[in-house]
Amino acid sequence: MSDEAGFEEIIGVSVLENFKLDSGKVLPLVEQRYAMYGKPDADGSNVVLVCHALTGSHHLAGPDVPGLPEGWLGPLVGPGRAFDTSRLCIMCFNNLCSPYGSTSPMSVNPDTGGQWGMSFPVVTPRDVARAQRLALRSIGIERIALVVGGSFGGMISLEHALSFPELVDNCCVIAAPARLYPQAIAYNEVQRQSILSDPDWKGGDYYPGPGPVKGLANARMLAMITYRSEQSFAGRWMRGMSDGELPSHEWGAKFKVETYLEHHGHELVSRFDANCYLYTTRAMDLHDVAAGRGSLEEAFSLLKGKGLLAVGISSDILFPSWQVMETARYAGKAGARSLYEEIESDNGHDSFLIDFDQMDEILRFFIREENI
């Protein structure tokens, strides 16, 4: 399809067989749905791979598509934009375990004929990156000029760069750490417990029903608190009531921040799957680039001579900027062309999806400096 910016979105699916995971378990069949914007050069020198965040999708830009979130990177993709489709080929895969077309707990297990549910094996960000790499190869792309991602997508981006350093020239990590710290794991666990304690979860065997609607909505409400900052909540609502009245002693009265969280909880339920949420948050917990590589120092030595941009956010409470700085510091010590930039915003973790003016400037500079 074509969008208003004058470029085409090409949707495709790559199929992998007998895909072995970090755990040693094997997925007999893996589908990887992807979107492509622009044409790849034969040597991959103009290919930019974008990795999406937890509940995002491969649909980066263009008009709305039924069943998918709106194009979440639209202001940065298109002719003349930071990701200039007049000369670059921009690609994005729907992550393994996500419900938007790639293999997930919602998919049919070819060995049983039923949906996987909680019998689906646990995956890691390294698994997600490796599946995408094999899918790239299946469509004729080996080398890529840049891999970039925010939040969970940033973790996958790091794994692309570290797992395939001979095939990835540059890496950009936005609002993501080199390893998940305990507080973020704690946030994820409370979200999962909200789903697991919902009677409608039924041990994950709720298909074809709607499943744990309340549990998933409550999980999203907690997540939204971590995606924003105290400054953004206070600046937008402070103690305002949804009906415009003064705070009330009646249970039916709601603060605006309460209705905001409820809205986002209901919105996610309408487009995401609870089991997929369990698996993707667990994959995030397992993120540690040093795993199997000895240490952070040894892991980042794989980036020697590569370009690495780490972008933190001043008001991020989920992955504080010091955690993102850590990536830049280790990469620099290991001999990478390491650069740290920071988005100055009160919008919290979600700033990389809101403050596109700053993202545009930061990405343009890095792309220009690395001659991408």
Phi and psi torsions of 276, nearest 5°: -60, -35
CB 62 within 8 A of CB 69: no
Options 84, 127, 316, 346, the catalytic residue: 316
Q: State how far the Cα of 289 lies from the Cα of 157, in Å rounded to an integer.
A: 11
Options 104, 107, 349, 351, the catalytic residue: 349
**For the chain, what percentages of helix, strand and coil (3-state, to nearest 5) are there?**
40, 20, 45
The helix/strand/coil state of 235 is helix
β strands within the chain, DSSP E: 9-20, 26-37, 47-51, 89-93, 146-150, 170-174, 307-313, 337-343
Q: Amino acid letter at 183?
A: Q
Of 175, 170, 163, 172, the C-alpha closest to 126 is 163
Collect contacts of 118-123 with beta carbons under 8 A, ≥24 apart.
Answer: 118/203, 118/204, 118/205, 118/275, 118/278, 120/275, 120/279, 121/21, 121/23, 121/25, 121/27, 122/21, 122/23, 122/279, 122/282, 122/283, 122/286, 123/21, 123/22, 123/96, 123/97, 123/279, 123/283
β strands within 222-329, DSSP E: 307-313
Q: State how far the Cα of 372 lies from the Cα of 370, in Å rounded to an integer.
A: 6
Options 57, 151, 194, 351, the catalytic residue: 151
Active site residue 316: yes
Active site residue 151: yes
Residues in contact with 12: Cβ distance below 8 Å, sequence separation at least 6, in sequence order: 33, 34, 36, 139
Q: State how far the Cα of 243 lies from the Cα of 237, in Å rounded to an integer.
A: 12
Phi and psi torsions of 359, nearest 5°: -60, -40
- For the annotated catalytic residues, the residue numbers are 151, 316, 349
